[in-house]
Structure 1
């Protein structure tokens, strides 16, 4: 076991060291200095405790990229409670499931989601619903009362939940201990130092007079967005948020220039391509000289886009992160002006291995071959309330506990890993995981649809696009079916294309033949 890191202790220690005029969070003209951030999160932590929440209680957050999202996460750590990410694209039934599955005690939500949240008052009467409103209960919580540190004993076992798409069925919450999460942060190639104790950490914060300013262009409700932002905050840095609204590469680059951003978090080519197009369309418009790192996780980041970014911003280092909600730091691909990695290839993390899918044998560190990507050491603790799924993903082999999220890779003779893909039917579209099974079941409930197979096809913008192959009865109307789907599914799960066939391809066992369905769509067999 490593040092028992706790993010509440780290935030307290950091706040005591940083200059009082240094911003903790910036969004447009709104600047929250470190003392104000520290006091607001201490007050919010006390308010949660006063509201009757016990240590370990789940606190769900339904919000876009706003400062309050970070405040709530930090306060949860300080109060020894477990934050829960909620996808702001979810419908009421999807949120209701997540509240039940996580056994959440409180849901804090932006007022724009009030209509989606309102039915939960009846379906989940014990769930405390709190609007993130400066003029309401939340505003009182963060502005009134004792803003000093709580002075409570915390533990490395304190943590949080990351809800993930998983492989089948509904989303599941991966439980992370703070000690394990911090350990994986310090394994990143972007980490400038690796403190061994809280005293080491304090000394490093004190000595760091020019910490990073990180801009998460990806949603904070994704694990990579919030945990990477948290990593900069505990180092005494600053989180810079984009203005609310659809992603605009020009606005991103304006923000980088205005606030002297040093690091950006993106999700593959979905973000990289428009950035490249903007930089090539107006070369020299933006001062990107402070920018040092662009990191990505969750979606393909092509070699071509990396090369174009380095050509436009020569001093930047690009860090492509291979990870999962169940286990971070599986691999890294670093690209710079003097170094590059082909698309889909990664250097394995220090505790990453390949496991033979048939025998569960761990391949030797230099042994070429194909297997499940796995890692031991600091990994997630399991899926909240689901011991069966936990046992399937987290396995003990030869005395070591491994996380096996489900991705296959091949190791070359030089030790690098080539990502092959996920062995189950999960579609990664724009950084979001979509379970084919969930969309299929929703389609089967839609009027006129008798059967469905859902696949992902390559897409230049989204990585994969959700496509449905369906069988229908007389009177089927696509507009009516799509209207029904919108009531059940978040918009990113909706099929970009629906292909109607006479009979769906199935194996003799009755299981869906996804390869044949893909051939139908790509070959136009319908």
Structure 2
């Protein structure tokens, strides 16, 4: 066996064929069903001329078909490509063409958007359309379900550790970029991290996954996991689906076209879910409010099965963690610091240690360092700022972008690191405090101000529901710190009080000089900050030229 993901999941299927793998509404698939349907996807792709190393774009909300298509692509040694369902024509065309995709699997509701760009997709050989009940259809598209039913399952083939896996990331500037991994680096590092999160020893080789999955089921310790965030992003797919599946667990899919926290909790109760994956406060805050509302109404959810809640990539404030644990004291919260370019650190919070928890403070992975820009280690307790350098799960590079690859993936003292641009300080105890990404840094009067630390300070005020901080042009200081924020229902908007609150947490020059009140702070579907949209709102509201 290799560390190729299809090999691992086939190994699990052989060990627990009748155990549940996917729940998607009325669709309930065992591991044998899952593997069989994925093998049919693989055959459909090869029948339409896709060969080893080809790319296939997946354009869908969270669905069983999304997971089947990805598994099927791995089976055929084809590279699946995630497509953000919020993209408009320009970004959509870019991802499909930039990735050299030869097939597009999409939900029928997106057919009108696909039709608008169809003439620009020169390499697409197959449009495979998932019937989602929308009534939409693209002329000439092949029905996903009909194609699967007509196909024979593709026989298992020999695969390689070097097979390509790729995830497109929006980044902070420019068009989306494909982050490339070989399967061995990706699977061995990611899945080991998943086992560590559960305080379990990971298999030493790929053939160990099946026996371990069988053992977990025998002990009634298997995972039933909801990725509450989109599968099209790394957090939802990697933490929410791939890791539970590689434990032989069942992935319970939640309709993510509109986030309904009450529906999420009800699904968790109904399916006796053990794990939920979210993306920071943007998910956690409404989930906490829904628990508070249910308690006040005397209709508390039975969530006694829920043992783990994970997040990555976005701030998850201590106050919200504390609130969730007050309802769910049996649960562990795993807050991961990472990006599509790799995992860097983790903070684990339980009811026992929540009073010592600090927002944005993480324990580094053993392979991660905080280094100066010339590659020198930052001394613990020095207060010096450095770049977080991930030295474990390091991508091959960005697809077809050698310049960006060279700038992001560097070697110091013989060790190759991923350096996506996150700055941090190292505390005396060796933990780190995340400051933020350099590309979003505000320069005001010569002082560097990271939006994330100002946002964190603002969110500790009980009147603030959500916020993003941006820099606007300023004649005197170059840039002025500007907060785009929404308030808790019924809270009073008091700019002077908010600015003073920040000054009690941070140096005075970091306090926002301008506050822009909005109904909803702009964020992507995965909860990540949309700083460009926030800045555009502020510029328009203040009538400031860009």
- Please, what TM-score do these two structures have when normalized by structure 1? 0.80
1:267 is matched with: 279
Instruction: Say whether 1:233 aligns with 2:245.
Output: yes
1:12 is matched with: 10
1:483 is matched with: none
Label 1:292 to 1:460 Cα distance change in 2 as closer, same or farther (>3 A).
farther
Instruction: Give the secondary-structure state (helix, strand or coil) at the position aligned to 1:499.
Output: helix
Instruction: Say whether 1:333 aligns with 2:338.
Output: no
Cα contact 1:368–1:415 (8 A) shared by 2: no
Label 1:368 to 1:184 Cα distance change in 2 as closer, same or farther (>3 A).
farther
Instruction: Give the secondary-structure state (helix, strand or coil) at the position aligned to 2:208.
Output: helix
1:515 is matched with: none
- Whole-angstrom distance in 1 between the partners of 2:440 and 2:369: 23
- Whole-angstrom distance in 2 between the partners of 1:179 and 1:172: 21
- Whole-angstrom distance in 1 between the partners of 2:63 and 2:282: 21
Cα contact 1:89–1:491 (8 A) shared by 2: no
Instruction: Give the secondary-structure state (helix, strand or coil) at the position aligned to 1:194.
Output: coil
User: For residues 415-451 of structure 1, what are the alpha-carbon distances to aligned partners after superposition, in whole Å with 9 as ceiling and x for unaligned?
Assistant: 111000000038999xxxx9x99xx9xxxxxxxxxxx
Label 1:179 to 1:29 Cα distance change in 2 as closer, same or farther (>3 A).
same
Match of 1:306 among 295, 307, 321: 321
How large is the Cα RMSD of the aligned pairs? 3.0
Aligned residues: 455
Q: Tell which deviates more after alignment, 401-410 or 281-290.
A: 281-290
Instruction: Say whether 1:180 aligns with 2:194.
Output: no
Instruction: Say whether 1:499 aligns with 2:504.
Output: no
Instruction: Say whether 1:349 aligns with 2:346.
Output: no
Instruction: Say whether 1:152 aligns with 2:186.
Output: no
Match of 1:125 among 122, 127, 143: 122
Label 1:4 to 1:393 Cα distance change in 2 as closer, same or farther (>3 A).
farther
- Whole-angstrom distance in 2 between the partners of 1:54 and 1:371: 44
| Structure 1: runs of 5+ lacking an equivalent | 441-452, 463-468, 470-489, 505-511, 513-526
Q: How far apart are residue 456 of structure 1 and its match?
A: 7.6
1:34 is matched with: 31
Label 1:19 to 1:221 Cα distance change in 2 as closer, same or farther (>3 A).
same
* 1:511-522 to 2 correspondences below 5 Å: none
Instruction: Give the secondary-structure state (helix, strand or coil) at the position aligned to 1:70.
Output: helix
Q: How far apart are residue 66 of structure 1 and its match?
A: 1.1
Label 1:101 to 1:48 Cα distance change in 2 as closer, same or farther (>3 A).
same
Instruction: Give the secondary-structure state (helix, strand or coil) at the position aligned to 1:338.
Output: coil
Instruction: Give the secondary-structure state (helix, strand or coil) at the position aligned to 1:16.
Output: helix
Label 1:339 to 1:491 Cα distance change in 2 as closer, same or farther (>3 A).
closer
- Whole-angstrom distance in 2 between the partners of 1:206 and 1:221: 29
Cα contact 1:269–1:461 (8 A) shared by 2: no
Cα contact 2:380–2:426 (8 A) shared by 1: no
Q: How far apart are residue 100 of structure 1 and its match?
A: 2.0
* 1:118-517 to 2 correspondences below 5 Å: 118-128=115-125, 129-133=127-131, 136-147=142-153, 150-185=155-190, 186-188=192-194, 189-191=196-198, 192-209=200-217, 210=220, 211-228=222-239, 229-243=241-255, 245-283=257-295, 285-328=300-343, 330-340=344-354, 341-357=357-373, 359-363=374-378, 369-425=384-440, 457=483, 459=485, 493=533, 495-499=536-540, 504=545
| Structure 2: runs of 5+ lacking an equivalent | 134-141, 442-450, 456-467, 474-478, 489-513, 515-529
1:479 is matched with: none
Label 1:499 to 1:79 Cα distance change in 2 as closer, same or farther (>3 A).
same
